[in-house]
Each structure stands twice: as C-alpha cells, then as structure tokens.
Amino acid sequence: MISKSQEDYLKAMYVLKMKNGEIRVTDIAQYLNISKPSVTKAINNMKEMGLVNNETYGKIELTEQGIDIAKKVLEAYDISYVFLKDVLGLEEEKAKKEAEKLKLTMEDNTLNYLAKYVHKVLNLSSLDCDYNIANERCRTCVRREK
C-alpha cells in the first residue's frame, strides 16, 4: 500500500515523463511545489519499494509497477472528475478539487462501478479519446458516440 504523498509523486513523474520525455528532481519539485531534498528523499523511498529506478544525480525512471500505479491514480481522478463535472454539473474548479478527494476514498470495485455508470449515462464509447496526459484532453473533450 502506498501513501497519498507517494501517489502524488508517481502521478507527477508520469505526467512529467509524458510531457517532457524525462523526469528530473527539479521538475518534480516545481510541479509539486516542494523542496528538492524532499523529492530526493521520496525517490529513494520509492526506489526501495521498486516503484522507480535512479542513480544519484542520474535520470529517474518509473518501473512498470510505478507506471501501473500512476495510471491507476490518474484514471481514478479522471473518472471522478468526469462524473462530478459532466454528470452532476459541478463547476470545473470545484469538480477538480472534489475529484481529488473522492479518488482517495474510493475502493477499486466502487471505482469500476462508477466508471461503468459514467460510460452509460454519458453514452461514451470509451475514455481513450487520443488521451494525452500532458494536455489533460479527456477532462474537456470526452467523445460521445454519434
């Protein structure tokens, strides 16, 4: 089991990798608005857990396990966000904040039910609509079947 903080790091690293092609301590620190020593400590802890690979002052890479967790965290957020914004009609900023809270408390099975509900209610073919995490396109362009 990983902590919310570790989820945030994995999500940030995945987004930075997709956006910049590489992951650097400086970029993670800026993205999360925290200090570089805090990032270094977290990366060392996640390295011990098998979630990242890196050498001192070297490049940082997510392991397959790290990538899987990062994608799962992002999917939980996206499903929650689409539900709150497109189904319940919350304003965008409120939906973003609430989706972040909701994903932390939801179990996988509940998330699966929510995903099926969102797909059915919004008549979605899928949430895989040329999704680019760097642009967060799914959060604004959800394609509906014609």
What mean pLDDT comes out for the span 97-107? 85
Decide: helix, strand or coil at residue 2: coil
- Average pLDDT over every residue of 110-126: 75
- 28-66 pLDDT, tens digit per residue, is 999 999 999 999 999 999 999 999 999 877 789 999 999
- Does residue 57 sit in the same domain as residue 96? no
Residues 57 and 77 in one domain: no
What CATH number is given to the structural domain containing 47? 1.10.10.10
Total of domains in the chain = 2
119 to 19, 60, 79, 102, 124: CA distances (angstroms): 27, 35, 9, 18, 5
Query: pLDDT-derived band of residue 137, with 50, 70 and 90 as boundaries?
Result: very low
Written as six digits, the tokens of 46 are 């996640």
24: left (phi over 0), alpha (psi -120 to 50) or beta: beta
| Residue 67 forms part of a structural domain | no
Dihedral angle sign, alpha carbons of residues 2, 64, 51, 101? negative
Same domain, 53 and 95: no
Q: At CB < 8 A and 24+ separation, what contacts does 95-100 make? A: none
What's the pLDDT score for residue 17? 92
Based on the fold, state whether residues 46 and 79 are members of the same structural domain.
no
CATH of the domain at 101: 1.10.60
Q: Is 95 exposed, middle or buried (0-12, 13-18, 19+ CB in 10 A)?
A: buried
Confirm whether pTM is higher than 0.95.
no
pLDDT averaged over every residue in the chain: 82
Residues 40 and 20 in one domain: yes
What pLDDT band is residue 134 in, cutting at 50, 70 and 90?
Answer: very low
Q: Which residues contact 39 (CB under 8 A, 6 or more apart)?
A: 9, 25, 28, 29, 32
Q: Are residues 104 and 55 in the same domain?
A: no
Domain span at residue 43 reads 4-62
* Predicted local distance difference test score (pLDDT) of residue 43: 95
Shared-domain flag, residues 47 and 77 = no
Range of 60-69, 74-83, 128-137 with top mean pLDDT:
60-69
